[in-house]
Structures are given as C-alpha cells and as structure tokens.
Amino acid sequence: MRGLPGPPSDEPPSGEPPAGGGLPARGLALRGLARGEEPSRLRDALTALGPLAVLVVAPRGTDVPLTDVVITEPGDEATHPAGALVLAIGVRGAAADGLVRAAGRDGATAVALRPGDGTERLLETAEAAGVALLTLTAQARWEQVETVAQAVVGNAVMLPGLDPGDSHGDLFSLAQTIATLTGGIVAIEDSANHVVAYSKSDDGADDMRRESILTRNCPERYLSVLREWGVYQRLRAGEEIVDVPAYEELGLRPRVVAAVRAGSRLLGTIWVQRGLSPLSPRTSEVLRGSARLAALHLVRYRGEASLAAGLREDLAGALIDGRVPAGAVVGHLGLDPCAQMTVIAIDPRAPAEQVDPSRRELRDARTTEIVSVYAAAYRQLALVTHLAGRVYLLLPETSGTTDGAAVTRWVQGLVSALRQNLGTPVQAAIARVVSGMEEVPAARLSADRMLESMVRMGDRAVATFEELHASVVLDEIVGLFRDPAVRDPSLDLLVRHDARHGTDLARSLLLYLDAFGDVAKVAEGLHVHPNTLRHRVRRAVALTGLDLADPDRRLLAMLQLRAARREP
C-alpha cells in the first residue's frame, strides 16, 4: 500500500508553489485534512509506528498536531509545512543539524531520520528548535514509515502496531499469564462475545469452554443463562468482578468474570473457569490488573486510536533510562510531572548457565507480564518496563503521600508470586521516593546499586532504600579500592601474607577496627583468647606500619580491608 487518499483540499498539487512563495517539500503524497476535522497528533503516529521508530526528544510533548508528511533529501531547500512530520532520507546524525533548525523555523512538528554520529548534539538543536526527533529502528523502511504516517494524518483507521495479529499475540500471552497466576482456564472476549484469546486447556475445561474455543463465540444457550442471571447487566452497571456459579444441567463449572473497560465503555470480558483445582485466593486482584492491561490490547484489536501497550512500555523505558526528558513523555503517559513516584527494580536472578537467548527472552517476557498484571491491579497508572535483564516498576502516588510500609508489603507479595512462577530467587529493590519525574533516572540507578548489594544477602527477597543506603554507599566507596593506585601496598602485602602462611591477620585487624578496639568482643567472635587477638593486631601493625592513632589511616585501612574481603 503506497498510501491512503486524503480528503479534498484547497492546496495546490505537489510540485506547484503554494501561495505566498516558498517551495513545496518533495514527496508530498497527502493533501491534509478537510476543514472541520480534528487533526491527528504526534502521539497517534508514535502509536501507529510502534517498533519502526523511537522517540528521542519531544520538546513540546506528544500532544501536538500532525497535519502533513513530507520527504526531504540532502540538497533540498524545502519549506516544511507547519505541523508536518519531515522524513529526512539520506541524512544522519549531525548532518541533519541545519534541516532540524529549518524544520523548527517553519513550524514542523517532528523530524525522523536514521541514527548516526552526532545524534546527541542534534538533541540540543531539536530542543532549541522545538521539534520532536525520531530515529528509525534497524528493521524500519522509509516506505513503511511514510505509509503509516500518511494513514495517521489522513485519519485512516490503522491498528497501532500495524498488524492485528500483534494484539492477538499479546492477548494470548496475557491469557496464559492470568491462567498461571489464578490456576484457572482463561478466555478473553470482546464486547460482542467473540473469543479473541484464550489460555491452554486441561481436562477440567467444561462444555461452555470447549464450544466457545471451537466456534470462537459463546454459544447462545449459555449466553441466555448468563443474561438471565444478570451477569452482563452487573458488568455494564459498573461491577469489576462477578462470580458465576456452576450450572450442572448445562455442564458449567464455576467461573469468575472481569469487565474490561475504556472509561465507562465495556470493551470485553475476561473469564476464568475453575478447572480441576480451586482458583487462587488472589484471583480477583489478578483479574483487576489484567483487565486494565487487556483494555489496551482490545483497543488495538478494535482499531481505535489509543496508546498501545508496547509504546507505553517503550516510553517508560526511555523515561527511566534518562534517554528522553521527563517533560517530553509524562503527558503521553498520563502522569503528573510533579507527582511522587516510587521506583522499584526487580531481578529474576536466573541461573548463569541459562545463556540461551530464546529462553532468556521468554523468561524476561514472562517476568514483565506478571509484574504488569499485579502492578495494574495495585496502581492504575503504574508503569512497567524491561531493561537489560531487569524489570522496572514506577508507582505514581495519587493521594499526595506515599505509604512506604504498604508499598513494601505489596512488593513482598509480588516477589513471592514471581518466585513461585519463575522458580528463581527473585529479588526486588525499592528505591527512594522521588518528588518529580526528572528524578526517576537517578532513582533507577540507586535501585540497580541496591540489587548489586543484595547479591551478598543470600535469600533476601525485598529491600528498601532506607535499609540498604549505608551498604550501597559503602559499596561505592569500597569500589574505589579496585584501583591499585588508591590502595595502600602494605595492606595488600598483609593480605598476601595471610594467603601464603595461612594466618588470619588481615581479618583480625579489620574486626578489631570495626569494634573500636574492643578486644574481648572480637576475641569471643573469633573464638580465640584476647591475648591471641592482641598478638595478631601487633603483628599486622608491624608488617604494615599502620599508625592506629591516625583516624584517617584507620578509616582507609578499614575500607581497603573490607574491599579485599569482597574480592573473589
């Protein structure tokens, strides 16, 4: 498809000078919007482009009009229409500096280009010009980007992500995750009672389940019973979760149904049938979170303009990684830029031998899916993203203050569920609460450092910033002693002496310093006589020349000896 025809326009055809002078941009295939139509927005194009492009910076946010798509190449001296997306073919990195300035001067909305050297400097240019900057991903082709963007500008109905099958794939994955977390048999239906996704079945599947999957529709004889019982009426009236009892005459087992809504509009339902085993006590919580996630996918399935789940995750990743200024994405994510936010990092702690990329990818996807389900149930505007083998969770506070104890209890429950489902010693670090979105990247780094400290804590499942702050800071300081230029050679000699002669002088000296010289306490801990400890300390001092009366040297000795004990 080369593009969709736009509505009639009073603009001259491509190639003719517009009134008022200037040259039209090359490749203008769409003629703008008919008068009175609501223009598309940059966010709509980002949603539709999905994995084809990455938003690098958006100085004016993403809720800005997008009224045209133009192509420019090196050497073009084009006047870019106001509100246009400029496709900079053949221009990379710093070479696009002049083009971006010109686009900003002309009032264009965004420039898309291939990434290249000097892209970081180009960020500053785009910020100053007030132009959003998009970079194409490796798999994107210019004709794809042009076609999708033109369709968005022309108000053509395009499924976010381009392929309805993508939505189906996401929904099937979600259905299987719900089944895993609830212990039930899951089906997801749209508002017309068509089955759009389902989990794997077992011998506990009842007649309604089997027939619905075979025909992809709920049979009428079952629908009539559900209507008679008022199930759909209760869902439309606003109930989130409805219990449906067994009905032996029709071979119905008990099930629970959740409404999937966009605002007050019912988009569909999630059905969890009890199989051979009872449902999990947390089924209602899982369904509430799943319904919020399913709403994003069902919107895609219906072809309505909305924020796709994939784009939301990408933007959350860009926010937490610091690749995009918070101001450029918070509006798109529906967040208050000044709201308090708790940042949580989760590490699956998968065995090191699991190096197969496909297995690792499946594990990461499953972890993200489970966290997303629980997070959506706990906090409606929660953001979940996956970066470098870890899952990051952003919990915005909507009530003004954060209840740290409640968040910790919830994270403990989440980690317990993850450990049960993944079979690995999952750990989570709850970073400090930040008072604005601009502080999120720093909080993420803090959470990463906390997870690194937790490696030495055995089976510790969850830790808070307050609990680990001293350990994290100490880790940072101790890390300096990896540099030989920082270490005291005499203390290195002491450690090597212990290794060669089987003595314990370095550890004894460290414990002595840690205990502020309390000989009795340290000797008891080492199970030696106090005089033995005194002898060890004197030997260590003699070998190193350490002046115990110098507080600075004492402190540095403690840090270096502590660093030595942490080395492999």
N-to-C CA span, the chain: 59
Amino acid found at 163: D
* pLDDT band with cut points at 50, 70 and 90 for residue 447: very high
Per-residue pLDDT at 346: 96
Domains of the chain, each with CATH number or no CATH: 40-153 (3.40.1390.20), 164-302 (3.30.450.40), 330-467 (3.30.70.270), 483-566 (1.10.10.2840)
* pLDDT band with cut points at 50, 70 and 90 for residue 156: very low
Q: Quick check: 548 pLDDT over 60?
A: yes
Per-residue pLDDT at 33: 34
Per-residue pLDDT at 26: 31
Per the structure block, which two tokens stand in for 330?
A: 């918070």
Taking only the tens place, the pLDDT of each residue in 473-491 is 887 887 788 888 888 899 9
Q: Quick check: 23 pLDDT over 60?
A: no
Per the structure block, which two tokens stand in for 20?
A: 């008022």
| Percentage, residues of the chain above pLDDT 90 | 30
Q: What is the mean pLDDT of the chain?
A: 80
Q: Quick check: 12 pLDDT over 80?
A: no
Instruction: Count the helices and strands in the chain (H runs, E runs).
Output: 20, 17
479 or 163: which carries more pLDDT confidence?
Answer: 479
482 or 155: which carries more pLDDT confidence?
Answer: 482
Separation CA 127–CA 109 (nearest Å): 12
Q: Where are the alpha helices (DSSP H) in 379-429?
A: 404-422
Per-residue pLDDT at 223: 87
Per the structure block, which two tokens stand in for 56?
A: 């690098």
Taking only the tens place, the pLDDT of each residue in 217-263 is 888 888 889 988 999 889 988 888 999 999 988 889 999 999 988 66
Taking only the tens place, the pLDDT of each residue in 490-543 is 998 998 999 999 999 999 999 999 898 899 999 999 999 999 999 999 999 999
Longest dimension (CA), the chain: 99
Separation CA 1–CA 151 (nearest Å): 10
Per-residue pLDDT at 22: 30
3-state secondary structure of 188: strand
Least confident of 19-28, 278-287, 413-422: 19-28
100: exposed, middle or buried (C-beta count within 10 Å: 0-12, 13-18, 19+)? buried
Q: Quick check: 274 pLDDT over 90?
A: yes
* pLDDT band with cut points at 50, 70 and 90 for residue 1: very low
Please state, in angstroms and as integers, the Cα–Cα distance from residue 350 to each residue in 346, 355, 385, 431, following that order. 12, 10, 18, 22
| Dihedral over Cα of 202, 203, 204, 206: its sign | positive
Per-residue pLDDT at 203: 76
Per-residue pLDDT at 117: 76
| Percentage, residues of the chain above pLDDT 70 | 81
| Dihedral over Cα of 261, 266, 267, 273: its sign | positive
Per-residue pLDDT at 425: 92
Taking only the tens place, the pLDDT of each residue in 171-194 is 888 998 999 999 999 999 988 788
Per-residue pLDDT at 263: 60
Least confident of 22-26, 126-130, 203-207, 508-512: 22-26
187 or 306: which carries more pLDDT confidence?
Answer: 187
Q: Quick check: 158 pLDDT over 50?
A: no
Separation CA 289–CA 263 (nearest Å): 15
81 or 155: which carries more pLDDT confidence?
Answer: 81
CA torsion 330-336-338-340 (nearest 10°) is -100
